[in-house]
Amino acid sequence: MNTDLETTLPLPTGDRDALRLRVQSQLDAKTKPLGALGRLESLTVQLAVALGTDQPALHAPQMVVFAADHGMAARGVSAYPAEVTRQMVLNFLAGGAAVSVLARQHGLALTVADCGVAAEFEPHPMLARLKVPGAERGTADASRGPAMSDTQCRTAIAQGRRLVAGLPGNVLLLGEMGIANTSAAALLMVRLTGEPLGACTGRGTGLDDAGLAAKRAVLAEALAANAQATHPLQALAALGGLEIATMVGAVQQAAASGRVVVVDGFITTAAVAVAAALQPAVLAHCVFAHCSQETGHSRWLKHLGVQALLDLDLRLGEGSGAALAWPLLESACRVLAEMASFASAGVSQRTS
Ligand SMILES: O=C(O)c1ccc[n+]([C@@H]2O[C@H](COP(=O)([O-])O)[C@@H](O)[C@H]2O)c1
Ligand SMILES: Cc1cc2nc[nH]c2cc1C
């Protein structure tokens, strides 16, 4: 493996425990029964700690949809053909996808990162070209050998870091698009958690029972073909995807620059899980927006020790769940900034 890339980035330091206690006591002084805002309160505290401030405020939120193609798509592991990746990128750019609608609704800046889609797109103000040399049209078929070389994987990580370093704001919302990428994410889940393949493999875009059985058989081949890839970075290169590797770098850079990361579904969780395997402290920056319907997601969230905000039976990807959860993050900041305290509003405190 070449060594021209640090595996992790230094994260901001500070007395997180003291900050956590200060923010919780500010919340406790607000005009509500103690703890009555439930998990919104823990979200407020998490945002304060992630941003390193007693007065968390979110600005210039950036939704990035990381897109790439997968060699394994040729093995029939998805209900849809591989060209949908390219077609959906055009749909994102034209403003017609679910994430386009939700980003507009919530004032999220939308960038589409071409991490290796099998197409060359016309330049567009929303499009970032992050193709990796030798993998411009996507990964190799992981059922026959490594999806990426170590160098390609490291290049993708470096590009994700660079992209985020150049974006404004203090929140990154993760989205992705890539036909067959639930296969890559399932393989990473098996390797990182040790869970059995069956518990990690779902229907993705909507495979029927026979399709799901065939997908599992292909994924078993991929695990056997890449049996030696056990370190998280090796697993990422062998079993992952270009959009997932680029997201790993994006998450690392966002955490290193003290931002909040809003995680979408199963595939974005794969990227965060790799980043967390390399450096567990990145998890403090990650808000898990929703629990996807994709088999494995709820179990993976448990492995990571996190709880998602929403459970809407979503299985779309694109960052749609992250965009839907966005107003909760805004509310979490606003209750802290704008609610009156018992003292300021002249409301009587509890008696017992
Ligand atoms: O994020 C999720 O939880 C999720 C669950 C199922 C499907 N997807 C999306 O569907 C595509 C991958 O599905 P598949 O069946 O092609 O592996 C990819 O574009 C993802 O954005 C996403
Ligand atoms: C149409 C379509 C839209 C998507 N968005 C994210 N993944 C997708 C997969 C398909 C098939």
Going by CA atoms, what residue is nearest to atom 21 of ligand 1? 317
Question: Are 29 and 158 in a shared domain?
Answer: no
**Full-prediction pTM beyond 0.80?**
yes
Which ligand 2 atom is at minimum distance from the Cα of 317?
6
Note the pLDDT tens digit of each residue in 55-112. Answer: 999 999 999 999 999 999 999 999 999 999 999 999 999 999 999 999 999 999 999 9
Ligand 1 atom 22, closest CA: 317
**Rounded Cα gap, residues 156 and 178, in angstroms:** 15
Whether the predicted interface score ipTM is above 0.90 = yes
Query: For residue 6, is it within any domain?
Result: no
Mutate to test the pocket of ligand 1, among 174, 176, 205 (most ligand atoms within 8 A of CB): 205
Asked if 144 and 53 sit in the same domain, the reply is no
Ligand 2 atom 3: the closest Cα is on which residue? 88
Q: What percent of the chain has pLDDT over 90?
A: 98
How far, in Å, is the centroid of ligand 1 from the Cα of 316?
Answer: 6
Same domain, 49 and 190: no
Residue with tokens 């070449």: 2
5 pLDDT band (50/70/90 cuts)?
confident
Domain presence at residue 2: no
Residue of 106, 79, 103, 77 whose CA lies nearest to 91: 103
With the most atoms of ligand 1 within 8 angstroms of its CB, the residue from 72, 80, 181 to mutate is 181
Q: Which protein residue has the closest C-alpha to ligand 1 atom 11?
A: 179
Residues 241-250, mean pLDDT to the nearest whole number: 98
CATH of the domain at 24: 1.10.1610.10
Distance 178 CA to ligand 2 centre (A): 8
Residue 73 CB coordination number (10 Å): 24
Residues 46 and 73 in one domain: no
- For residue 205, which atom of ligand 1 is closest to its CA? 15
For the question of residue 195 being annotated catalytic, the response is no
Residue 3 lies in a domain: no
91 and 229 assigned to the same domain:
yes
Nearest ligand 1 atom, CA 84: 19
Residue 4: band (very low, low, confident or very high) from pLDDT cuts 50, 70, 90: low
User: Is residue 154 in a domain?
Assistant: yes
Question: Structure tokens of 62?
Answer: 């950036």
Across 320-339, average pLDDT = 99
Distance 292 CA to ligand 1 centre (A): 10
> Quick check: 334 and 25 in contact, CB under 8 A?
no
Let me know if residue 269 belongs to a domain: yes
Clarify whether residues 122 and 167 are in a common domain: yes
8 falls within a domain: no
Q: How far is CA 4 from the centre of its chain?
A: 25
What's the gap in Å between 85 CA and the centre of ligand 2?
Answer: 7
Q: What is the tally of structural domains in the chain?
A: 2
Pocket of ligand 1 (CB under 6 A): 78-80, 176-183, 204-205, 264-267, 292, 294, 297, 315-318
Give exposure, 133-150, as e/b (b: 16+ Cβ within 10 Å): eebbebbbbbbeebbbbb
Residue the block writes with tokens 């998602």: 308
Question: Are 102 and 221 within one domain?
Answer: yes
The CATH number given to whatever domain includes residue 252 is 3.40.50.10210
Which bound ligand lies closest to the C-alpha atom of 206? 1
pLDDT (mean) for 245-252:
98
- Of all protein residues, the one whose alpha carbon is nearest to atom 9 of ligand 2 is 205
Given this model, what pLDDT does residue 161 score? 98
Q: Is residue 148 in some structural domain?
A: yes
Q: Which two tokens stand for residue 115?
A: 């991490």
Q: Do 292 and 209 lie in a common domain? A: yes
Question: Residue 3: which pLDDT band, with cuts at 50, 70 and 90?
Answer: very low
- 35 and 135 fall within a common domain: no
Residue 166 and residue 34 in one domain: no
Mean pLDDT computed over every residue of the chain: 97
Task: For 201-233, write each residue's pLDDT tens digit.
Answer: 999 999 999 999 999 999 999 999 999 999 999
Q: Is residue 351 part of a domain?
A: no
pLDDT score of 2 more than 50: no
Q: Which ligand is nearest to the CA of 203?
A: 1
* Domain ranges, residue 277: 62-328
* All residues at 6 or more sequence positions from 107 whose CB lies less than 8 Å from its CB, including other chains: 61
Catalytic residue chosen out of the listed positions 41, 243, 294, 318: 318
Query: From its phi and psi, is residue 146 left (phi > 0), alpha (psi between -120 and 50) or beta?
Result: beta
Shared domain for 268 and 340, answered yes or no, is no
In this structure, what DSSP letter does residue 341 have? B
CA distances from 31 to 35, 48, 259 (A): 11, 20, 29
Q: Which atom of ligand 1 is nearest to the CA of 176?
A: 21
36 and 184 share one domain: no
